[in-house]
């Protein structure tokens, strides 16, 4: 079936089965490989994208459930958003990544958090980032980068 998807401000068409997860539609059919595959069951957060600004697990979201009018934002497009750009800058400045594989998902979750809570507490960060695993365990720096992006003092 042909599905129309609005990805990073562009309307794209993907001819895939209805049960195909959004992740694989983006990665294999549309060549948008920033969202990563980690678990396939929505448990690790590597595949996180925004659907109308809300973080979702694209590996567990069938493409048929995504409305034509819904705005999908991936890591490739998050820099067009002022908050997303700040988060990316904080991630780079604090050299957060080790392997870097989970970081697109972390950045998408962090951006969604800061859009709803511009000055998150530690408890807010724990809750908002609980769906994202970093196997390299860069959690100290992820926390610091979220605080940096929100203009709060940072202990690194």
Partner 1 sequence: MTLQATGASRRDFIQASASAAGLLLTFSIAPKAGAAEAGVKPLNAYVHVAPDGIVTIMAKNPEIGQGIKTSLPMIIAEELDVPWEMVRIEQADNDPKAYGRQFAGGSMATPLHWDDHRRVGAVARAMLIQAAALAWNCPTGECSTDKGMVVHVSTRRKASYGSLAAQCSAVNVPDPKSLTLKDPSAYKIIGKATPQYDTAKIVSGQPLFGIDVRRPGMLYASYEKAGVFGAKVASCDLDAAKAVKGVRGAFVVEGGTALDGLLPGVAVVGDSWWAARKGRKALNIKWADHPTSAQSSAGFAKRAHELAAGAPQMVTRHDGDVDAALKGAAKTVKAAYAYPFIAHVPMEPQNCTAEYKDGKLEIWAPTQNPESGRQLVARTLGLKPDDITIHMTRCGGGFGRRLSNDYMVEAAWIAREAKAPVKLLWTREDDVRHDFYRPGGFHFFEAGVDAAGNVVAWKNHFVTYGEAPDRPAPSAGMSASEFPARFVPNYQLGVSAMPLGVPTGPLRAPGSNALAFVHQSFIDELAHAAGMDPVAFQLKLLGEEKIVGQPPAAYNAERMRGVLKAAAEMSGWGKTQLAARTGMGVACYFSHQGYFAEVAKVHVAADGQVKVDKIWVAADVGHQIVNPSGALNQVQGAVIDGLSAALFQKITIDNGAVQQGNFGAYPLLRMADAPPVEVKFLKTPYPPTGLGEPALPPAIPAVTNAIFAATGKRIRELPIDTSLLKA
Q: Which stretches of the chain bind partner 1, using CB under 8 A? A: 16-17, 20-21, 24, 28-29, 31, 33-41, 43-44, 46, 74-76, 79, 88, 91-93, 95, 97-104, 107, 125-127, 129-130, 132-143, 155-156
What's the min distance (Å) between Cβ of 71 and partner 1? Answer: 17
What's the min distance (Å) between Cβ of 45 and partner 1? Answer: 9
Would you tell me the crossing angle of helices 139-149 and 82-93 to the nearest 10 degrees?
130
What's the min distance (Å) between Cβ of 139 and partner 1? Answer: 3
Q: By C-beta, is 64 or 69 nearer to partner 1?
A: 64
What's the min distance (Å) between Cβ of 70 and partner 1? Answer: 20
Nearest CA to 74 among 42, 112, 38?
Answer: 112
Nearest CA to 107 among 31, 25, 94?
Answer: 94
Alpha-helical segments (H) within 21-138: 22-24, 82-93, 103-116, 122-128
Burial class (CB in 10 A: 0-12, 13-18, 19+), 85: middle
C-alpha distances in angstroms, 139 versus 20, 108, 125? 32, 15, 11
Q: By C-beta, is 11 or 41 nearer to partner 1?
A: 41
Q: By C-beta, is 67 or 127 nearer to partner 1?
A: 127
What's the min distance (Å) between Cβ of 41 and partner 1? Answer: 6
Which residues lie below 8 Å from residue 65, measured CB to CB, with a gap of 6+?
none
């Amino acid at each position: 079936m042909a599905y129309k998807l609005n990805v990073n401000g562009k309307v794209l068409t993907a001819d895939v089965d209805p049960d195909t997860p959004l992740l694989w539609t983006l990665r294999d059919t549309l060549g948008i490989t920033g969202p990563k595959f980690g678990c396939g069951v929505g448990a690790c957060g590597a595949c996180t994208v925004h659907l109308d600004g809300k973080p979702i697990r694209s590996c567990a979201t069938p493409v048929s459930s995504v409305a034509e009018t819904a705005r999908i934002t991936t890591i490739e497009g998050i820099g067009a958003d002022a908050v997303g750009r700040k988060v990316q800058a904080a991630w780079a400045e604090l050299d957060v990544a080790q392997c870097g594989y989970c970081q697109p998902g972390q950045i998408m979750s962090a951006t969604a958090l800061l859009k709803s809570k511009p000055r998150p507490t530690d408890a807010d960060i724990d809750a908002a980032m609980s769906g994202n695993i970093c196997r390299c365990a860069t959690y100290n720096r992820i926390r610091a980068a979220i605080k940096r992006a929100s203009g709060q003092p940072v202990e690194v």
